[in-house]
A and B are shown apart, each in its own frame.
Chain A
Amino acid sequence: MIWEVFRQEREGQPFQHGGSLEAPNLVFAEAYAREFYGRRDESFALWIVPRESVEEVRDPYVADVFDRDYRRVDGYSLKVKLKEARERAGTSPAG
């Protein structure tokens, strides 16, 4: 059985994929994951998951045909409106 090992390099960091190994059950998989990803004290924590439990989504398409700039930072252009608002309030920055 193939198991995927995710490791957390330091406390608080995201778990990242470290590699995979072969083991008959979780007890063996844990022993081996400790060896491969922990013998140099290089991981703060590990997740061990049977490969068949990992669902991969390639090309995570939701929708991108119509313009959705409201979801993006560069979809907002405030400079012009801010200038107008400051002029109205008489608080335009010097120069």
Chain B
Amino acid sequence: MNAQELLQLADDELVLGWRNSEWTGIAPFLEEDVAFSSIAQTEIGHARAWYELAAKELGTDADALAFDRAPEEYLCAPLVEMRMVDDWARTIARHWLYETADCIRIQVLLNSIDREIAGLAEKIDREEAYHRMHAEMWAERLHDEPRFREAVDELWPYALGLLPEEQRPLFCQAFERDEGAAVERGDHTESLLPLWEEMTMVRRSVPGASW
């Protein structure tokens, strides 16, 4: 796996973690607020771990990779860029789809010939078990909610686009759904630029400073 592939993973986790932390303080109820915030934190922690691996190869550091690139240099998928607060149905739909996709790609990484990658994938997989449990819990609870099902339908093509083509059949199997067309990585959505501006505003205010 090369640095670009590592950055893709890291960018997905960072941007999704960023989007999920938009719910901190305003989740539907307090107990869930605390739980969902942990999930956001874990995602950012995983992003950090992938950035650190990529940083070694690229001769820089994790924060520089996370914050000092131009928006067009990010390799995240459109699925994670979308702003979904205050829509809990869409948020959980994305959470459920993403965790399942992430699980599939992590399983592949567990078998990586690169021991560092395999080792990191194993650690991440352990933590992701809780995320999957949480997503399943909510998917089951909202199963009969029309707005949840609509959100899953809407986000399905984006979720497909998260994974490389060879991993998509397994993903479809998990949901017992036909594949259909995917929204591929490549072009960023218009949500990314405002996100990047807010995410980097403090850092850009005093370039090169320690915080």
Interface residues of A (CB under 8 A from B): 21-24, 27-28, 31-32, 34-36, 39
Contact = CB atoms under 8 A, between A and B. Distances in A.
In this complex, the member of A23, A28, A35 whose beta carbon has the largest number of chain B beta carbons within 10 angstroms is A35
B31 A24 contact: no
Given A24-B141, A27-B137, A28-B137, A35 B38 contact: yes
A21 B141 CA distance: 18
Contact of A34 (B29, B32, B130): B130
Chain A, interface SS category: helix
A31 B135 CA distance: 11
Given A28-B137, A35-B38, A39-B38, A23 B31 contact: yes
Contact of A35 (B29, B35, B137, B141): B35
A31 B35 contact: yes
Nearest to B36: A35
Given A31-B134, A39-B38, 16 more contacts: A21-B31, A22-B31, A23-B31, A24-B141, A28-B31, A28-B137, A28-B141, A31-B130, A31-B133, A32-B34, A32-B35, A34-B130, A35-B31, A35-B35, A35-B38, A39-B34
Interface string B58-85: 0000000000000000000000000000
Interface string B116-154: 000000000000001001100100010000000000000
25 contacts: A21-B31, A22-B29, A22-B31, A23-B31, A24-B141, A27-B137, A28-B31, A28-B137, A28-B141, A31-B35, A31-B130, A31-B133, A31-B134, A31-B137, A32-B31, A32-B32, A32-B34, A32-B35, A34-B130, A35-B34, A35-B35, A35-B38, A36-B31, A36-B34, A39-B34
Interface in B24-51: 29, 31-32, 34-35, 38
Contacts of B133: 31
A23 B35 CA distance: 12
A21 B32 CA distance: 11
B45 to A, nearest CB: 12
Nearest to B138: A28
Contacts of A22: 29, 31
A53 to B, nearest CB: 19
Contacts of B34: 32, 35-36, 39
